[in-house]
Amino acid sequence: MIKIYNNFFETDRATVIHNFVLNSFYKIGWDDTQEPHHRPYPNLHSEFSLEDLNKIKMLDPILKKIKKGKRHYEKCVVNLTKPLDVNFIHVHQGLVALYYANNTWNPEWGGETLFYERDKKTIKLANPYTPNQLVIFDGPIPHTIKAQNLIGPSYRFTISLFFKNNIKEEQK
């Protein structure tokens, strides 16, 4: 399942989120995967706490799009990618809500999110990086991003919120 919501937040809220992302503390490394072959190509990421998400009023509107009884919030990671960064096809457990946080982005700058079939060779969907867009998808769908090119902005920000299945739902 992949669901796309354009113009997800009102303009003022999207600007608040973008400014929060710009002023976040970034660390070097991969926080959302433990794959050893990713280690030579670290990215920049920042972790948002529940307090951070509530401060920028981001979590509740996303929770309304997710069946709350079946999922619970696990964590939030902001990925900061740069032109020519190396990105890998990967999967997650549970459900992912991916938000494109840049205020402006032109299609010719690249940065698409690619979703693959299980074979990790056939592209199922190439979703253009679209400011203020929310993409909710099943984490087990293999995915990656196409690096932005040199003519665009220096930084591409995505906010990933991870949701796990509730234990009671898994037992049904």
The gap from C-alpha 142 to its chain's centroid, in whole angstroms, comes to 13
The 3-state DSSP class for residue 130 equals coil
Provide the pLDDT for residue 5. 97
Q: Tokens representing 19?
A: 């400014």
What does the pLDDT look like over 93-126, one tens digit per residue? 899 999 999 999 999 999 999 999 999 999 999 9
Please report, for the domain that includes residue 107, its CATH number.
Answer: 2.60.120.620
Range of the domain at 138: 2-171
What is the domain count for the chain? 1
- End-to-end C-alpha distance for the chain, whole angstroms: 20
Provide the pLDDT for residue 43. 76
Q: State the pTM of this model.
A: 0.87
What does the pLDDT look like over 58-78, one tens digit per residue? 988 888 888 766 788 889 899
Provide the pLDDT for residue 172. 43
Rounded percentage of the chain residues whose pLDDT exceeds 70: 87
Provide the pLDDT for residue 66. 86
Q: HEC string of 60-127? A: HHHHCCCCCCCEEEEEEEEEEECCCCCCCCECCCCEEEEEECCCCCCHHHECCEEEECCCCCCEEEEE
